[in-house]
Structures are given as structure tokens and as C-alpha cells.
């Protein structure tokens, strides 16, 4: 609700995350992070390769980007929630920080404008 997102599937698989990573480069999500919500403006099958190596449980696509059927199918196999929002990376970061900043670890790699 906070990020005005739409699920790719009918319902969420995961009820909570331990960390939110907001950024354009999924390669910066390392394997020492667990139970991760990846917030990205990229829609690419490479995301699933990263998700296989790192404990990503949900991916939030910004800028109204939609995952391809191939990505949706792979996410289903890996039990990863896929969500789309019309908001930008920066807007999602601000909203997450405002609502969950004291209870959720939020890491970000945002490019300066």
C-alpha cells in the first residue's frame, strides 16, 4: 500500500522483509543480505539470476515497468513476489524511509540528479 504497487500474481507469498535495497544495479545486492526486497527500475531476465544467488524474496519494479512472462514464470518458481509501481526509485525510497525507516533496514544507491 505504501508504494501504491500492483502484484504480478494474485497474492503475496512473503509477509515481511528484513531489508529493502533501492537501486538500479542488482549486482550490488550481496549474499550477506537476507530476506531482501529489491526496488529497481530495471526489468531484465538477469534479475532472476541475481535472485537465485541472493536471498531476494520480492522485487518492486518502479516507473510502471512490467516484468515479462519469462521473468514472472521464473519468479513463481523461485517464490519471489513481483510488484509494479508507477513511482520512481527516489519516490519509493522516500516513502519507505518515512514509513518504515525506524523498523526496516533500507539501503539505497540512488544516482544524483
- Per-position DSSP letters for the chain, written without gaps between them: -TT--EESSSS-S-S--SEEEEES-GGGS-TT--SEEEEES---THHHHHHHHTTEEEEEE-TT----HHHHHHHHHHT-EEEE-SS-HHHHHHHHHHHHTTTSEEEEE----
* pLDDT exceeds cutoff 80 at 31: no
The pTM of the full predicted model, rounded to 2 decimals, is: 0.89
Q: How confident is the model at residue 64 (pLDDT cuts 50, 70, 90)?
A: very high
C-alpha–C-alpha distance, residues 43 and 67, integer Å: 6
What nine digits make up the cell of 99? Answer: 514509513
* pLDDT exceeds cutoff 80 at 26: no
pLDDT at 113: 47
Share of the chain above pLDDT 90, in %: 39
Query: Using one digit for the tens of pLDDT, what is the confidence trace for 3-25?
Result: 888 888 888 898 889 999 998 77
Amino acid at each position: 500500500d505504501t508504494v501504491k504497487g500492483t502484484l504480478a500474481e494474485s497474492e503475496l507469498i512473503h509477509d515481511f522483509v528484513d531489508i529493502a535495497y533501492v537501486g538500479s544495479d542488482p549486482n550490488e545486492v550481496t549474499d550477506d543480505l537476507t530476506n531482501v526486497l529489491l526496488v529497481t527500475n530495471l526489468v531484465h531476465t538477469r534479475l532472476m539470476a541475481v535472485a537465485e544467488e541472493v536471498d531476494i524474496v520480492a522485487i518492486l519494479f518502479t516507473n510502471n515497468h512490467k516484468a515479462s512472462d519469462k521473468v514472472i514464470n521464473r519468479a513463481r518458481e523461485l517464490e519471489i513476489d513481483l510488484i509494479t509501481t508507477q513511482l520512481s526509485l527516489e519516490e519509493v525510497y522516500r516513502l519507505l524511509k518515512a514509513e518504515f525507516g525506524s523498523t526496516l533496514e533500507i539501503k539505497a544507491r540512488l544516482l544524483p540528479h
